[in-house]
Amino acid sequence: MRPSVYIKDLREHVGKEVSLKGWLYHKRSSGKIKFLIMRDGTGYLQCVVFKGNVAPEIFELADKITQESSFEVKGAVREDKRAIGGYELDVTDLKLISLSQEYPITPKEHGIEFLIDHRHLWVRSKKQVAILKIRHRVVKAIRDFFDSHGFTLFDAPIITPNACEGTSTLFEMDYFDLGKAYLTQSGQLYAESGALALGKVYTFGPTFRAEKSKTRRHLTEFWMVEPEMAFYDLNDNMDLAEEFLEYIVQTVLEDRKEELKELERDTSKLEKVMRPFPRITYDEAVEILKKNGVDFKWGDDFGGADETIISEQFDRPVMVHRYPAEVKAFYMKRDPENPNLALAVDVLAPEGYGEIIGGSQREDDYDTLISRIKEHNLPQEFFEWYLDLRRYGSVPHSGFGLGLERTVSWICGLEHLREAIPFPRMIYRNTP
Ligand code: 4AD
Ligand code: MG
């Protein structure tokens, strides 16, 4: 049943007769010749049906087969540098598997709403296939990086009673007799437990935020990878973040050339993503904004437009550290040299892609952490387990979270996060 040959492997079959299975991507004809472009998920292949070479019913089938019909094709593989993918098939036989009804996503232009309504079909298109392959490669680069740097994968739960990143973006549910529970905003608190057990860990999974803002950078369900390291301070954390980002970008550049080309990505911008990345303080970032005519109040958090201005000053990701503690999470350690500042770091991607990494050194002192929990009006009883990590062998430790879809959007050069995940979830959309 399964195909014996995939399009990506055709180079091993030049001059031979093979059989392939796939879908009709596109069709052209000129008199006695029909050109059927097959896609099989691994590539695209021009199948040439020449009237003189096949039985009349095969030629008729080549005429009536519709876009997205599934079919099997047999023929001889010929190398042709000009052809899509570099090979062509001289067809000898054709078998229909299922005739497609009139396909809604024709090569003409469609509005974005129409396309997302048909996301289950839209993922078949060339550009989307390229993005999804890059996403997969980013995921593999993330895993490879941590697996080869002494980290252990430590899965965090999805259902949790703990608010990690503020209480305004929680997805709430009734959890049997136990009261309220939430979809996790971040695996970090659990990763901290893992770091104290295993030294260096990472969590990697879906995270949820009931983001009320409709922006091109926010999803309500997104994937995040979160390394957490015992005995790392903020500087160690930044060293790791830049090595990690460089590795991801350079690996994808090396390994997904075809896909980046399909997306018409200007890769010269990505080639510059090499260590060292600039490191500036929040104060220095505020200076940049002021110099660029932004009326910015010290103490505020940066908005998307501010991040763009800051990142435009640099040709590689910029690390902004030491934010006002007021705008950051309860678990961040204060700077011993200035307790108004948190030992936080955000990494802003170039080209206006905004914050892709958020991280910090964690508060490791028991009493200070309790006061922070109280200041943030968090229910202490649900944080007792987290406080145990400071009761029993607390150590300085740090970590960060990288948003997968923001990273993929940046690498692919996308306008909006919604194309960086197979089925995007946003405030105004939870289908298909
Ligand atoms: O800065 P954030 O909120 O940090 C945390 O969640 C920490 N607990 C991470 C840690 O230290 N372990 O989120 C981290 C990253 C952001 O930089 C961004 O890339 C992504 O997660 N992110 C989102 N991506 C898509 N849609 C959203 N609504 C996102 N919110 C955050
Ligand atoms: Mg953040």
CATH number of the domain at 256, please: 3.30.930.10
- Kindly state the tokens that stand for 189: 């608190």
Q: What is the pLDDT of residue 213?
A: 82
**CB < 8 Å & 24+ apart, contacts of 140-147:** 141/247, 141/248, 141/251, 141/252, 142/204, 142/225, 142/244, 142/248, 142/402, 142/404, 143/204, 144/251, 145/244, 145/247, 145/248, 146/200, 146/202, 146/225, 146/227
Does some domain include residue 107? no
Cβ(357) to ligand 1 under 6 A? yes
How many residues are listed for the chain in this entry?
Answer: 432
Q: Which of 98, 127, 151 represents a domain boundary (last residue)?
A: 98
Query: 222 CB under 6 A from ligand 1?
Result: yes
Q: Is residue 112 part of a domain?
A: no
Name the domain boundary from 30, 64, 98.
98
Helix/strand/coil for 423: coil
* Residue 113, domain member (yes or no): no
pLDDT tens, residue by residue, 383-429: 999 999 999 999 999 999 999 999 999 999 999 999 999 999 999 99
How does pLDDT run across 159-218, given as a tens digit for each residue?
A: 999 999 999 999 999 999 999 999 999 999 999 999 999 999 999 999 999 988 889 999
Q: Give the pLDDT score at 109.
A: 84
Question: Which residue minimizes the CA distance to atom 20 of ligand 1?
Answer: 403
What gap in Å lies between CA 13 and CA 11, rounded to an integer? 5
Same structural domain, 72 and 167: no
Same domain, 236 and 274: yes
On whether residue 12 sits in a domain, the answer given is yes
Domain count, the chain: 2
Q: Considering only CA atoms, which residue is closest to atom 22 of ligand 1? A: 403
pLDDT at 80: 95
Residues 255 and 378 in one domain: yes
Q: Residue 72: beta bridge partners? A: 21, 95
CB 217 within 8 A of CB 304: yes
> Do 359 and 254 share a domain, yes or no?
yes
Ligand 1 binding pocket mutation candidate from 201, 224, 353 (most atoms within 8 A of CB): 224
What is the residue range of 163's domain? 119-420
Structure ipTM: 0.99
| 2 found inside a domain | no
Would you state the pLDDT for residue 31? 87
Residues 6 or more apart from 225 whose CB is under 8 A from it?
Answer: 142, 146, 202, 203, 204, 401, 402, 404
**Is the same domain home to 246 and 340?**
yes
The span from the CA of 57 to the CA of 141, in Å, is 49
Residue 242 and residue 280 share a domain: yes
Same domain membership, residue 258 and residue 199 = yes
Ligand 2 ion: residues within 5 Å (CB) = 358
CATH number for position 25: 2.40.50.140
Rounded to the nearest angstrom, the distance between the alpha carbon of 247 and the centre of ligand 1 is 20
Residue 287 domain-assigned (yes or no): yes
Q: What is the pLDDT of residue 427?
A: 93
pTM above 0.95, yes or no: yes
> Among 222, 26, 21, which Cα is nearest to 135's?
222
Work out which ligand 1 atom sits closest to the CA atom of 347: 17
**Could you report the per-residue pLDDT of 136-146, keeping only the tens digit for each?**
999 999 999 99
Q: Are residues 48 and 165 located together in one domain of the fold?
A: no
**Residue 1 within a domain:** no
In 256-411, the DSSP E strands lie at 279-281, 318-324, 334-335, 338-349, 354-361, 397-403
406 lines ligand 1 (CB under 6 A): yes
Q: Give the 3-state secondary structure of residue 101.
A: coil
**Nearest-CA residue for atom 1 of ligand 1:** 358
137 CA from centroid of ligand 2 (Å): 24
Lateral strand order in the sheet of 159-160: 159-160, 180-183, 172-174
Number of the ligand closest to the Cα of 349: 1
The Cα–Cα gap between 258 and 252 comes to 11
- The per-residue pLDDT string of the chain (432 residues; one tens digit each, 9 = 90 and over) reads 888 899 999 999 999 999 999 999 999 998 899 999 999 999 999 999 999 999 999 999 999 999 999 999 999 999 999 999 999 999 999 999 999 999 999 877 899 999 999 999 999 999 999 999 999 999 999 999 999 999 999 999 999 999 999 999 999 999 999 999 999 999 999 999 999 999 999 999 999 999 888 899 999 999 999 999 999 999 999 999 999 999 999 999 999 999 999 999 999 999 999 999 999 999 999 999 999 999 999 999 999 999 999 999 999 999 999 999 999 999 999 999 999 999 999 999 999 999 999 999 999 999 999 999 999 999 999 999 999 999 999 999 999 999 999 999 999 999 999 999 999 999 999 999
Do 142 and 185 belong to one domain? yes
Residue located nearest, by CA, to atom 31 of ligand 1: 403
Residues 221 and 77 in one domain: no
pLDDT of residue 255: 98
Q: Which atom of ligand 1 is nearest to the CA of 359?
A: 11
Query: Is residue 109 one of the residues assigned to a domain?
Result: no
Helices (H) and strands (E) in the chain, counts: 13, 17
Lookup: tokens for 328? 């950051």
Contact between 96 and 128 (Cβ < 8 Å):
no
Residues 92 and 23 in one domain: yes
Q: Based on the domain organization, do 52 and 188 belong to the same domain?
A: no
Asked which of 98, 128, 160 is the last residue of a domain, the reply is 98
